[in-house]
């Protein structure tokens, strides 16, 4: 029997509610198989850890994760700690430390979900946004000088490297090639950002020549938001910079019904390091501790984790169980207009996975 070693990092806020739920569905799957099992190690890093130790995770934290098969992550963000400390001290440390340069964000309108675009049929909205996850606007290059003085200045430099852009473009073209429509939209802002984004466009055109069977186009990021609303079926796979894709994917999630549903994988395509899977949402301070969190984004992230491990049958079964549950309005959480609690949705998915008698 194969044993997969999974690190769980619930982090803060509703991360502490949805990650145990994700763990429960993995256990429910394992209970139906004699081919694989999961071994979990939980890491209590995040805001509470910061209050005790002055850091979000220990200095040798990456070493504790390095040999795991995958990481399941909740959220970093605590109402009492500035967001840039929680984000850079935990999630970005792991993403950048393990060079998880491809952030993959699928969006679909799941069965039973009342999505806000009235003229959009479910089959019109089936996207994967590929987010460059290692540099760009979140390169960490920058600084703040003369703090508090009239001449104060601050910069966050958008840094792009040829290596970084080439590898994300190649990943995106390959992903687009693997999907039925073989269609890629390269999101840009080269009209205004005339250095980094011009290089981005040039590299896109170069890499495109390696994929003659992929149809591709370019869209300026602001126009892309309108296109997502007005012509969703004209999009399939998208590739965008760290910041642009961050914003576009929250819009995508909302268009598909709720931020609480959307999953993501922070992936090291070369598999030198473990990849990390998480719902795209944050700590949700407004609902934390009340059992109101929608766990579907975490469950779908677990589907991506299973696909990454090569457990395609388990991934398919879990996705089917999720869709069975979203199709039932009695199992919708408050963000979807329902009244179900995290626990009830989790139990329903686990029950769906259990062997029939
Ligand atoms: P958020 O995603 O936490 O919440 C935005 C809104 O969506 C809230 O109204 C929330 O209640 C709702 N929501 C989010 N997830 C939900 C779920 N699963 N079920 C039901 N409703 C859900 O974004 P925010 O409020 O901007 O950020 C809160 C904190 O989370 C901040 O500290 C931020 O930095 C952090 N954050 C972390 C990550 C991450 O760890 N990857 C991502 C985004 C935000
Ligand atoms: K998250
Ligand atoms: Mn985000």
Query: pLDDT at position 357, please?
Result: 58
1: CA distance to ligand 1 center in Å?
38
* Residue 211 reports pLDDT greater than 80: yes
Distance CA 30, CA 22 (A): 13
- Strand 36-42 and strand 2-11: the pairing is parallel
Q: What is the pLDDT of residues 113-148, one digit of tens each?
A: 999 998 899 999 999 999 999 999 999 999 999 999
In 207-345, which ranges are E strands? 215-220, 237-240, 263-267, 275-279
In a domain, 323, yes or no: yes
* Residue 340 reports pLDDT greater than 90: yes
In a domain, 294, yes or no: yes
Which of residues 356 and 76 earns the better pLDDT score? Answer: 76
Q: Is 91 in the pocket of ligand 1 (CB under 6 A)?
A: yes
The residues, ordered by sequence, that sit 6+ positions from 31 with a Cβ below 8 Å of its Cβ are 354
Ligand nearest to the CA of 92: 1
In a domain, 227, yes or no: no
What single-letter DSSP state applies at residue 91? I
The crossing angle, in degrees rounded to 10, of helices 221-230 and 242-255 is 10
In the chain, which ranges are E strands? 2-11, 36-42, 70-75, 102-108, 126-132, 142-145, 153-156, 183-188, 215-220, 237-240, 263-267, 275-279
Put the strands of the sheet holding 263-267 in their side by side order: 36-42, 2-11, 70-75, 275-279, 263-267, 102-108, 126-132, 237-240, 183-188, 215-220
280, 275, 283, 286: which is closest to 264 by C-alpha? 280
In a domain, 289, yes or no: yes
Nearest CA to ligand 1 atom 6: 284
Output the domain CATH number for residue 93. 3.40.718.10
- Range 83-86, long-range pairs (CB < 8 A, 24+ positions): 85/50, 85/56, 86/12, 86/46, 86/47, 86/50, 86/56
Averaged pLDDT for residues 97-103: 98
Q: Is 277 helix (H, G, I), strand (E, B) or coil?
A: strand
Distance CA 289, CA 14 (A): 7
Q: What is the pLDDT of residues 224-283, one digit of tens each?
A: 999 999 999 999 999 999 999 999 999 999 999 999 999 999 999 999 999 999 999 999
- Specify whether the CB–CB gap between 235 and 243 falls below 8 A: no
In a domain, 193, yes or no: no
Query: pLDDT at position 299, please?
Result: 98
Query: pLDDT at position 59, please?
Result: 96
Distance CA 327, CA 331 (A): 8
As a whole-number percent, the residues of the chain with pLDDT over 70 amount to 99
Q: Which of 264, 276, 281, when mutated, tests ligand 1's pocket best, judged by the most ligand atoms within 8 Å of its CB?
A: 281
Ramachandran angles phi, psi of 10, nearest 5°:
-65, -35
Distance CA 14, CA 19 (A): 8
* Residue 349 reports pLDDT greater than 80: yes
Query: pLDDT at position 118, please?
Result: 87
* Residue 162 reports pLDDT greater than 80: yes
In a domain, 192, yes or no: no
Distance CA 185, CA 129 (A): 9
Q: Which of 259, 264, 302, when mutated, tests ligand 1's pocket best, judged by the most ligand atoms within 8 Å of its CB?
A: 259
pLDDT band for 70, please (50, 70, 90 cuts): very high
The total of structural domains in the chain comes to: 1
Averaged pLDDT for residues 170-192: 98
247: CA distance to ligand 3 center in Å?
6
What is the ipTM, given to two decimal places? 0.99
Averaged pLDDT for residues 11-31: 98
What range defines the domain where residue 40 resides?
1-101+264-357
271: CA distance to ligand 2 center in Å?
21
Query: pLDDT at position 356, please?
Result: 67
Query: pLDDT at position 335, please?
Result: 97
pLDDT band for 355, please (50, 70, 90 cuts): confident
Mean pLDDT score of the chain? 97
In a domain, 82, yes or no: yes
In a domain, 4, yes or no: yes
């Amino acid at each position: 029997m194969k044993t997969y070693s999974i690190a769980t990092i619930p982090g803060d806020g509703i991360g502490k509610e949805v990650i145990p739920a994700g763990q429960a569905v993995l256990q429910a799957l394992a209970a139906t198989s004699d081919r694989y099992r999961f071994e979990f190690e939980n890491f209590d890093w995040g805001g509470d850890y910061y209050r005790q130790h002055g850091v979000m995770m220990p200095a040798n934290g990456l070493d504790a994760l390095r040999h795991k098969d995958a990481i399941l992550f909740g959220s970093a963000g605590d109402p009492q700690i500035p967001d840039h400390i929680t984000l850079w001290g935990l999630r970005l440390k792991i993403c950048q430390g393990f060079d998880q340069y491809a952030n993959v964000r699928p969006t679909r309108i799941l069965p039973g979900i009342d999505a806000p675009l009235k003229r959009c049929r479910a089959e019109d909205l089936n996207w994967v946004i590929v987010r460059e996850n290692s540099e760009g606007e979140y390169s960490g290059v920058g600084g703040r000088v003369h703090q508090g003085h009239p001449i104060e200045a601050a910069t966050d430099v958008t840094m792009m490297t040829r290596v970084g852009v080439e590898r994300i473009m190649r990943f995106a073209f390959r992903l687009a090639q693997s999907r039925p429509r073989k269609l890629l939209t390269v999101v840009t802002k080269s009209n205004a950002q005339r250095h980094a984004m011009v290089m981005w466009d040039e590299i896109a055109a170069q890499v495109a020549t390696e994929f003659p069977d992929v149809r591709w186009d370019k869209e300026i990021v602001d126009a892309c938001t309108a296109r997502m609303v007005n012509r969703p079926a004209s999009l399939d796979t998208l590739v965008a910079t760290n910041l642009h894709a961050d914003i576009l994917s929250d819009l995508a999630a909302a268009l598909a019904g709720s931020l609480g549903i959307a999953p993501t994988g922070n992936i090291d395509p070369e598999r030198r390091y473990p990849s990390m899977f998480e719902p795209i949402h944050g700590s949700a301070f407004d609902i934390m501790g009340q059992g109101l969190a929608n766990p579907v984004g975490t469950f779908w992230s677990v589907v991506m984790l299973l696909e990454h491990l090569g457990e395609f049958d388990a991934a398919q079964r879990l996705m089917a169980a999720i869709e069975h549950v979203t199709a039932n309005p009695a199992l919708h959480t408050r963000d979807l207009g329902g009244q179900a609690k995290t626990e009830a949705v989790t139990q329903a998915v686990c029950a769906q996975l259990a062997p029939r008698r």
